[in-house]
Chains A and B, each alone.
Chain A
Amino acid sequence: KAGVTQTPRYLIKTRGQQVTLSCSPISGHRSVSWYQQTPGQGLQFLFEYFSETQRNKGNFPGRFSGRQFSNSRSEMNVSTLELGDSALYLCASSLEAGVNTEAFFGQGTRLTVV
């Protein structure tokens, strides 16, 4: 069974641009969560989707958005990039609702904003 796939693995963008990151969950998983990891702030929750609906959102500005498609694949978008958005973005998928079922993580997308 294929694991969680995140694309691209690395990305370099310029301030002010926008970026879209993609996450393909494990087949059959319907819940997808996104996390931002930085040296200063650690791991922070961005949002969680289940059956195409956003069920929870972390404390991030509106520049951060996401969506989930009918095949459970998810994308997150960051508009008007700032230097502070440089981070490792991790996606996790799980079979059902909530993280009390095991969450499987992808290898992340390393975003660098210059």
Chain B
Amino acid sequence: AQTVTQSQPEMSVQEAETVTLSCTYDTSESNYYLFWYKQPPSRQMILVIRQEAYKQQNATENRFSVNFQKAAKSFSLKISDSQLGDTAMYFCAYDSNYQLIWGAGTKLIIKP
């Protein structure tokens, strides 16, 4: 069965710093999708970035980028120039058979 592990329950950085959130996963499939979602205090889950496993190039969305290491089954999220609005829970998720399998989440706090 597929599993997703986020080993950092909470992280805190100063505004404008760069922060990296870790995620590892386990699967026997060769083609799949990985996601990072953000859940602010409003509770609405928002897609941050998506990576297709067959693409070697790391996905980038403005200040957000991933380091996708397929062989190591690692999918970390880097947030550059962090902003106060980035404060939220961040979830790593794996796409499997019409469902998302989620990590436990990392609470990210951006300090002014």
Contacts and interface: CB of A to CB of B under 8 A. Distances in A.
A98 B33 CA distance: 10
A92 B45 contact: yes
Interface string A72-105: 0000000000000000101010000111101111
A25 B37 CA distance: 19
Given A99-B33, A102-B50, A45 B99 contact: yes
Contacts, number: 57
Contacts of B97: 56
**Chain A: number of interface residues, binned into ranges:** 20 to 34
Contacts of B42: 107
**Chain B: number of interface residues, binned into ranges:** 20 to 34
B104 interface: yes
Contacts of B102: 35, 42-44
The secondary-structure label for the interface of chain A is strand
A58 interface: yes
Given A90-B45, A107-B43, A108-B43, A99 B91 contact: no
A48 B45 contact: no
A97 B50 CA distance: 17
Contacts of B98: 31, 33, 48, 50, 55-56, 97-99
A58 B98 CA distance: 11
Interface of A: 31, 33, 35, 42-45, 48, 50, 55-56, 58, 88, 90, 92, 97-100, 102-108, 110
Interface of B: 33, 35, 42-47, 50, 52, 91, 93, 95, 97-105
